[in-house]
A = this chain, B = another copy of it.
Amino acid sequence: MSNPSVSKPLKLGIAGLGTVGGGVVRLLQANANAVTHKAGRPIEIVAISAKSKAKDRGIDLSHIQWVDDPMDLVSNPKIDVVVELIGGANGIAYDLVCAALKAHKGVVTANKALIALHGDELAKLAEEKNVPLLFEAAVAGGIPVIKTIKEALTPDRLKRIGGILNGTCNYILTAMAKTGCAFNDILKETQELGYAEADPSTDIDGFDAAHKLAILASLGFGHTIHFKDVFVEGIRGINPDDLHYAKELGYTIKLIGIAQQHQDNRIELRVHPALLPCDTPLARVDGVTNAVFTEGEFSGRLMLEGAGAGEGPTSTAVSADIIDIARGSTIPMWGTDWKELTPATVVSRNEFVKAYYIRLMVQDKPGVVADIATILKEHNVSLRSLLQHGATNDTDDTPIVPIILVTHKTKEESLLRALQAIQKLPVITEKHIMLRIEEA
C-alpha cells in the first residue's frame, strides 16, 4: 500500500543449504508467482553459500551465484537480506549475523541457540542499524508462535507461556509409553528414523527446549533473559515403569517448558519431564508434534499445535519472515525497543511449588512406609496418594519393590530435604525418581 519500494525486488543471500536452506529455495521457486503478489514485489535469491557446491539437492541453483565464504554475502552490495541457516550459537553463524546487521542488511534466521544466547546484543545492533532481524523458525518450526506473541498477543499482559517444545523428546516418550521399551532402545530407533541426532544430548538433555523457552519468555514478558537461568532437566532418567505408574494414576509424561510470571514480577523458567493429567490438551500431543500455549490477562488461553521441525514447515516460517521484510516490517526484534526490556529476576528451583511424583525402590520390610511417611511429615510434605505394589517373587526373603508417592503442592526445597533424609534409610536400594506434576 504505502510501501514506496513496491516493484523493486528484495534480494537474498542464503547461508546454509541443509534441510531448511534447501526447503526455502524449493518453496520460493515453487510458489514464486504467489510470493511476489503477497510480498508486493519479487523475491530474488542472488547468492548462496554452503559447504558443498557439488551435492545434488534436487533444486535448480544455476541462476544463483555460489560463494564459498558466507561473509561474501555481506560484502555483496546487491544483497538486502542475509538468511542465516547454518546453525550454532557461536562461530560462523554469529559472525555472519553480526556482520550482516553492521552492513545494514536485514537478517532472517532459524537459529534458536544464537537468539537464546545472543538475542539482546543482536537486537541492540539491529535497532542501531535500523534493519529487521526475524526468527520465526527458531521456535517450534512451522508453528507461528513468535508472530502470535509478538503481534497478535502484544496488547495483552501474558502470565504463562509453555508447551511441548522438543519433537525428539516427545517422540521418544510417546514411543516408550506405547511400547513399554527402555529409553536407550527407543533412542536408537529414533536416531534410525532421523528424528534424533547422532549426538542427541541437545535434545534429550532439554537444552533445545530451554533455548526456545528463553526466547518465548523474552518476547512474552519483555525481559532480557540469561539462558543459564532456565532450570533444565532432560529425559534420560525416565523409565518405562514411571510411564506405567503415571498412567495408573491418570497421567502421561512429557518434556515440557513453562515460563510463568509471578505476582511479584519474578519469572519461573523451567524445562523438565512432567506428569500431565491424561485429559488435558497438552497430554494428547503425541509423536514429533509440538504445541505452545499462552495464558493472558485479556486473551485467555490459546494453544497452537503443529510441526516443530521438518523441511516444509520450517521453510514456510523462514519464507514468511522474508515476505514480512519485503512488505516493510518495522517491528523491533523483541516486539518492543531493545531499551524497554528489563532484566528478568528468576525464581530459583528451591522456590518452585508443585505437586510431585516420587518413585522409591525399597526392600519390602515391615515399617518402611511408616519411616518414609514420618520423614515427609517432618519436612511438611503432605501426601496425596501412595501406591505400593507387592513383590512378585514370594520366594525372595526381602524382595525389592517400588513405592510411588504423590504429594500435595509443596515447596521443592522441602521435598528435596525430605528425599535427602529418605535416601539415607538403609531399606532404600537405589536413587529415587522425582517428577513434577503440571496440572494444566
Contact = CB atoms under 8 A, between A and B. Distances in A.
Nearest to A304: B304
Nearest to A131: B1
A319 interface: yes
Given A2-B130, A305-B305, A300 B281 contact: no
Contact of A298 (B1, B23, B148, B327): B23
Contacts of A152: 136, 144, 147, 316-317, 320
A411 interface: no
A320 B155 contact: yes
7 contacts: A3-B330, A27-B155, A31-B155, A142-B302, A148-B148, A155-B322, A304-B305
Copies in the complex: 2
A302 B296 contact: no
A299 interface: yes
Contact size class for A?
35 or more
Contact of A37 (B130, B330, B340): B340
Contact of A2 (B34, B35, B330): B330
Given A284-B284, A319-B155, A336 B142 contact: no
Given A27-B156, A34-B155, A142-B299, 6 more contacts: A144-B153, A152-B317, A152-B320, A155-B319, A303-B305, A303-B306
Interface of A: 1-3, 23, 27-28, 31, 34-35, 37-38, 40, 127, 130-132, 136, 142-144, 147-148, 151-157, 222, 281, 284, 296-307, 310-313, 315-317, 319-320, 322-324, 327-328, 330-332, 335-337, 340
Contact of A147 (B131, B151, B311, B330): B151
Contacts of A316: 152-153, 155-156, 296, 298-299
A151 B300 contact: no
A304 B302 contact: yes
Nearest to A337: B37
B306 A300 contact: yes
Contacts of A28: 155
A1 B304 contact: no
Contacts of A307: 299-302
A281 B70 CA distance: 43
A152 B144 CA distance: 6
A156 B148 CA distance: 18
Contact of A332 (B1, B154, B298): B1
